[in-house]
Amino acid sequence: MSTLSLTVADTALSLNINDRDNLLNQCLAAGLPVARSCRNGNCGRCDCRLEFGQVQLRNGKLVTAPATIALCISHAHSAIGLNQLPLATPPQHWRCQGLGAQQLQLPAGRQTPPNIGDKVALLFAKTVTINSVAAVDGRVISLQNHCEHIATHIQNQAGIGLLNIDSEHHGNVDLWHSIKNRQTLLWPNINQRTGLAALAAYRHGGSVGDYHLRAQTPTLNP
């Protein structure tokens, strides 16, 4: 394993990196909140401009500057320089209407839709399902996978929460729903950032009942 360097133009940022781990993981390990979603080089969230140096992609292809690279599938092959880092923004959420088992529609207005390839959570009243965005056509969002819960919400004319999430959204927090002294676990094993975004989405949608997060209690070995 070689020790190399990563620098970002017009900043004082300089990281010692290696040629074993992908650049996204190394930036995250250094505490840099880089935007990401699919981790397969498809969604474009972690794309950036390689100003100098050479990287090797996950498939073995060598890419030499100048070029646009996805940090999640790129490994340093030399000292490298980037034009800038694509830093993450807080997760976005939308209130949608169901059109079919694999389609949602954003409300009218100026809203920036999710990107193709983004991983998303569909927030229903009694459950949460994970999907990804296959296509976007104006206000219509096509999902990668069939979701049977959408049909129920179409019949009830109920809105559906849509939340952008990262592939690495797992953690030690659970999202619960309470109504009339009955508690339901909606979304287990998520991280704090994802949980707070889900809370905001549910509350923005005016759902009945109370939504709250609980940190999981560590299991003690006997």
pLDDT tens digit string along 177-208? 998 888 999 999 998 888 988 988 988 877 77
The number of CA neighbours under 13 Å toward the Cβ of 80 is: 30
Domain boundary among 61, 82, 103: 82
Read off the amino acid at residue 31: G
Length of the chain: 222
SS3 of 187, please?
Answer: strand
Mean pLDDT of the chain: 89
Residue 219 confidence (pLDDT): 55
Residue 148 confidence (pLDDT): 93
CATH code, domain with 32: 3.10.20.30
Give 80's strand partners.
6
pLDDT digits (tens, 9 = 90+) for 130-146: 999 999 999 999 999 99
> Cis omega before residue 66 (within 30°)?
yes
Q: Do 106 and 70 fall within a single domain?
A: no
The structural domain count of the chain equals: 2
Residue % of the chain over a pLDDT of 70: 97
The number of CA neighbours under 13 Å toward the Cβ of 56 is: 10
Instruction: Establish if 120 belongs to a structural domain.
Output: yes
Q: Could you tell me the pTM of the whole model?
A: 0.68
Instruction: Establish if 220 belongs to a structural domain.
Output: no
